[in-house]
Amino acid sequence: MNNLDDILKSRRDTRHFTQDAVPDEVLKKALQAGHWAPSVGLTDATKYYTIKSAVLKKAIKNLFLDYDEKAIALTDNQQQKRDYKALKLEAIEEAPLGLVICYDRSVLNNFTIGTVGSSEAIKFSSVCAAQNIWLSLTEQGYSMGWVSILNYYQFKQLLGLPENIEPLGYFCVGKPATDYDEQPMLQQLQWKQKQENPVVEEITIFDQSSAETTTFKVKNEVNNTLFAKEVQHKIDQKTKPTGSLGVLELLAKQIGVVFQTLEPKIMLPHIVVFAADHGIANHGVSAYPQDVTRQMVANFLDGGAAINVFCKQHSIHLSIVDAGVNYDFPTNADLISAKIGKGTQSFLQGPAMSLSELQLCYSKGSKIIAGIAETGSNCVGFGEMGIGNTATASILMSIILALPVEDCVGRGTGIDDEKLIQKINILNRCVDNYNGAADLDSKLAYFGGFEIMQMVGGMLQAKEQNMLILVDGFIGSVAFLIAVKKNPFILKNAIFCHSSAEQGHQKILDYLNVRSVLQLDLRLGEGTGCAIAFPIIQSAVAFLNDMASFESAGVNTKEI
């Protein structure tokens, strides 16, 4: 087969193979074709691993079967479920050769031309290599099938791949056993028809719409000491020794003062989890690969994460926000789409985001919370998810509080001592490389994360709506620290739900001169601390509203 058009039309995602071995010269020629593919910045980031072991193939097949069950559960109806089960979607054990095509994200440790707009360019280069390999195999009478229905974290662990090596998937290679009636298999089986021609549309109108901006009002609030004394008097008249309910009394007073009522009620409590990816994660500052952000968002949507469990337990409404995950979720996914980009850039080499993107974060976060307030909710907790975001938060804390990076950095997802030292060294390099403007927003744009900045916008909007603001752990407290710099009065509305195991968290609480409700050594994020502390907050409201007073109970205060 020599005609290029014929080769292109004949390329198939093959699922049926003969038992014929793949000759070394065929594979060598195909991999050379992959090497000739475009490589962003000439990084040569694409890496290849071959697999012939039957034991290893079986283990990979089991990973496929596990995720295939999840795929079956996502089908739209019973007929589609039956049709899906009838499809042959892999040939992991049947194909004579397995090929794992990967990209090495450690090339991003140094400046690379072509990755400024998106670090995903190195992944795209590897996809080009995969296509070249496919076309070369087709020309030689062989073929390949791409298996992507896998848990990539488990896949990497199974293969023992280094932390910086990210697989595109598992590829089955061999001689095709069928021509599929000269059409894609899914089309042959009438799963879906491929369009005859490409979709092309000319853009002729220049879009002059400007980026969204949000201005937060900072009202010079009067300290209503008279009303605060009324709330305190009501608390002191309850049938108990003065101060005997400890932190509950402080919470009850705070909530009464925020809502300016002696009978406060928490209405429609809500927790919002903002998720995004971070370019700094490409430099090995986390125990987990970046793709775990996407996987955890899927887990949130499936109801399987800790925050889902606790919100269900305490009847708290939960919303998930895609603030900038490096993945395109289905448009019908039950999440709020507020994507700024597919993750920030690595601030090792330059700014994580632009100033206009920072303003867009504020705007989107603000609109999300404004929408929640419109439902009648007066209490909102903030959670986050993003591999690498403890590194981002640590630098932001270091800059705002003028502390050494070493005093702010923690273990995040659970890195070991060696990784912690590496994390500190990388973040110190990042700080040393900064030569931008001295104003706060310039630094926030340079070192920020999309989900952190959307939380800032959301918290400031919650203050404008006079909502109770439930602050979670380290990353949430860094977001709140930024919000305080923009509106110091926000502190009156905030309840700090727990003291994190991250070393920097207690330093932030001390700086703000606040105490947390719980001390449980949590470091999970997701807003879990907000959800766990919520029943205690409810208890504070309950005793203020429902507990008898000395007068109503007929108790002689002199005997207490």
Which pLDDT tens digit goes with each residue over 461-493? Answer: 999 999 999 999 999 999 999 999 999 999 999
CB atoms within 10 A of CB 9: 12
pLDDT at 99: 98
Instruction: Please report which helix (H) or strand (E) contains residue 370, including its range.
Output: helix 355-374
pLDDT at 54: 96
Q: Whole-model pTM?
A: 0.73
Calculate mean pLDDT across residues 369-382. 98
* % pLDDT > 70, the chain: 96
Cα–Cα dist 197/95, whole Å:
32
**The token pair that represents 52 in the structure block:** 């012939």
Band (pLDDT 50/70/90 cuts) for residue 216 is confident
Query: Of 139-148, 202-211, 283-292, 524-533, which gets the smallest average pLDDT?
Result: 202-211
Ordered domains of the chain (ranges, CATH): 4-109+117-189 (3.40.109.10), 266-537 (3.40.50.10210)
pLDDT at 552: 75
49 or 109: which leads in pLDDT: 49
25 or 425: which leads in pLDDT: 25
Calculate mean pLDDT across residues 127-156. 93
Cα–Cα dist 435/446, whole Å:
10
Q: Is residue 222 helix, strand or coil?
A: coil
**Nearest one of 489, 485, 479, 488 to 459, comparing CA atoms:** 479
The 10 Å CB-count burial string (b at 16+, else e) for 74-91 is eeeeeeeeeebeeeebbb
pLDDT at 253: 96
DSSP secondary structure letters along 274-302? EEE--GGGGGS-SSS-THHHHHHHHHHHH
| Start-to-end Cα distance in the chain | 97
What's the whole-number average pLDDT of the chain?
Answer: 91
Q: What is the DSSP letter of 469?
A: E
pLDDT at 560: 46
Which pLDDT tens digit goes with each residue over 170-191? Answer: 999 999 999 999 888 888 888 8
Band (pLDDT 50/70/90 cuts) for residue 71 is confident
pLDDT at 554: 75
Tokens 């488990």 -> residue: 154
Query: Of 208-212, 236-240, 411-415, which gets the smallest average pLDDT?
Result: 208-212
**Nearest one of 60, 153, 171, 163 to 104, comparing CA atoms:** 163
Q: Is it the case that residue 291 has pLDDT exceeding 80?
A: yes
Band (pLDDT 50/70/90 cuts) for residue 413 is low
Calculate mean pLDDT across residues 45-54. 96
- Alpha helix ranges (H) inside 406-492: 417-433, 440-447, 450-464, 474-486
Which pLDDT tens digit goes with each residue over 2-35? Answer: 688 888 888 889 999 999 999 999 999 999 999 9
Q: Is it the case that residue 117 has pLDDT exceeding 70?
A: no
Q: Is it the case that residue 211 has pLDDT exceeding 70?
A: no
Q: Is it the case that residue 138 has pLDDT exceeding 70?
A: yes
Beta bridge partners of 275: 322, 385
Q: Is it the case that residue 559 has pLDDT exceeding 70?
A: no
Q: Which strands, in side-by-side order, build the sheet including 494-496?
A: 336-337, 317-324, 270-276, 379-385, 468-471, 494-496
526 is catalytic: yes
Cα–Cα dist 41/78, whole Å:
47
Calculate mean pLDDT across residues 78-100. 94
Q: Is it the case that residue 455 has pLDDT exceeding 50?
A: yes
Q: Is residue 309 helix, strand or coil?
A: helix
Main-chain phi, psi angles of 137, to 5 degrees = -60, -40
pLDDT at 290: 84
Query: Of 71-80, 169-178, 513-522, 548-557, which gets the smallest average pLDDT?
Result: 548-557
* % pLDDT > 90, the chain: 68
DSSP secondary structure letters along 39-76? -GGG---EEEEEE--HHHHHHHHHHHHHHHHHHHHT-S
List, in order, residues 6 or more apart from 228 with CB less than 8 Å away. Answer: 253, 257
**Nearest one of 531, 502, 525 to 386, comparing CA atoms:** 525
Pick the catalytic residue: 249, 451, 464, 526? 526
333 or 303: which leads in pLDDT: 303
Cα–Cα dist 550/543, whole Å:
13
The backbone region for 473, taken as left when phi is positive above 0, alpha when psi lies in -120 to 50, beta otherwise, is: beta
